Amino acid sequence: MTYDLVIRTRRAVLPDGERPAAVAVAGGRIAEVAERDAPLPAASETDLGDTALLPGLVDTHVHINEPGRTEWEGFATATRAAAAGGVTTLIDMPLNSLPPTVSAAALAAKRAAAAGKLHVDVGFWGGAIPGNVPSLRPLHDGGVFGFKCFASDSGVPEFPPLSPGEMRDAFREIAAFGGLVIVHAEDPSALTAPADGGYPAFLASRPPAAERRAVEQVIRLAGETGVRAHILHLSAADCLEPLAKAQSDGLPITAETCPHYLVLSDGEAREPAYKCCPPIRDPANRDALWQGLASGVISCVVSDHSPSTPDLKQGDFATAWGGISSLQLGLPAVWTAARARGHDLATVVRWMAEAPAALAAVPGKGRIAAGNDADLVAFDPDAPFTVDPARLRHRHPVTPYEGRTLTGTVRTTWLRGVPVDGTPSGRMLTRKEAP
């Protein structure tokens, strides 16, 4: 047969490692992965030479904020930034939009707002808040990939946290239909108001104990209810011990961390662009998070892209919005740090593509394999660049990476075998049903 596209490279990052290969695309899917020089008739052919070919990244932690707070971000801008950073699939968080995705009607409003604006594929998380247990199964039936909840204040009044009893009730309901719960784990009893507007005071106000207590609570409730649980944006390495034990005991619990916790440190936090919750901690903690990734206790690296309008990132660390915009920069930021620590590109791809796709059971994503969507990224792993906020595609050019030199440049992103070129061609995804 004649394929639509063949991409050849000396550095294809495949499920079994990195090697020369030719990837043949037909009908938007990967039809064949062959030897680099294999004869493969095609309507179009690209030879990347030594530029690496990766599967499109899967980012399961993105706040798009539309509808309702589109001035903070939006589907068009967020998905353009994703494509520029090699992300071809993302899952939108249920809060910071108005309405939050806590009912079937709100999910319909979210989908209506996204229609015609997507440059990459997008799925949706549902939300678990006080009083909406009856809405969880309809959301599940509507195709959300799981349910987010907070143990502490979310920062927006329309998405309140769950008490321990409410969390137990939500976990039981989600377990009853085989769903996934994802948890912002900080114990409110361990959080305090910052003593002043500096970063040390902000960091002290959200200590590692807050995360550990909440993680231990999730572990207990997962054991009671049998729900599959995932810890979001792990910042405190103190949590690795109870998570490792729970996993060795067979509990279905996983964890993720984010580029800013792996790359930045408390001593660099000079302005509110660095503020996030939970916070960026010290270098020793950062080293331990890398060890948690290497051991598999932490399985995923995702962005927690949480933008706002620039005025909300002004002021000091006590008052500014807590969120970091990094959707476009996650791959080079993590790769720059990972290669310095001896990790290869295949490992970074596992953390940022394969594992997030497996976590959320996103069909056909995260691996260069026959039958999967032809979501692919040409990535030059040796090309440095300096982060210029003016070149970022998300709505507001605010980033703690400003002026930082990173290594690794995305050259081309293909969605289902077609280069992402500014024309919205992304699809809305729904959860894959279990076989």
pLDDT tens, 39-54?
999 999 999 999 999 9
Please report where in the chains the tokens 């994503």 appear, as a residue. Answer: 365
**Is residue 405 helix, strand or coil?**
strand
Residue-level pLDDT at 35: 98
pLDDT exceeds cutoff 80 at 84:
yes
Query: Residue 434 — pLDDT band, cuts 50, 70, 90?
Result: very low
Cα–Cα distance for residue pair 356/56, rounded to 1 Å: 11
Residue-level pLDDT at 435: 32
The size of the chain, in residues, is 435
Residue-level pLDDT at 431: 87
Q: What percent of the chain has pLDDT over 70?
A: 99
0.95 exceeded by the pTM? yes
Expressed in angstroms, the distance from the first to the final Cα of the chain is: 31
Structure confidence by residue, pLDDT tens digits, 396-417: 989 999 999 999 999 999 999 9
Q: Report the pLDDT averaged over residues 91-95.
A: 98
pLDDT exceeds cutoff 60 at 128:
yes
Residue-level pLDDT at 372: 98
E-only strand ranges, 128-277: 147-150, 180-184, 228-231, 253-257
pLDDT exceeds cutoff 50 at 124:
yes
Residue-level pLDDT at 433: 55
Cα–Cα distance for residue pair 19/22, rounded to 1 Å: 10
Cα–Cα distance for residue pair 434/182, rounded to 1 Å: 18
- Angle at which helix 208-225 crosses helix 240-248, to 10 degrees, equals 20
Q: Which tokens is 131 given?
A: 């009083």
Q: Report the pLDDT averaged over residues 271-291.
A: 98
Cα–Cα distance for residue pair 229/127, rounded to 1 Å: 14
Q: Report the pLDDT averaged over residues 198-216.
A: 98
E-only strand ranges, 328-431: 376-386, 405-415, 418-419
3-state secondary structure string, 254-280? EEEECHHHHHCCHHHCCCHHHCCCCCC
Q: Which tokens is 289 given?
A: 């998070």
Residue-level pLDDT at 376: 98
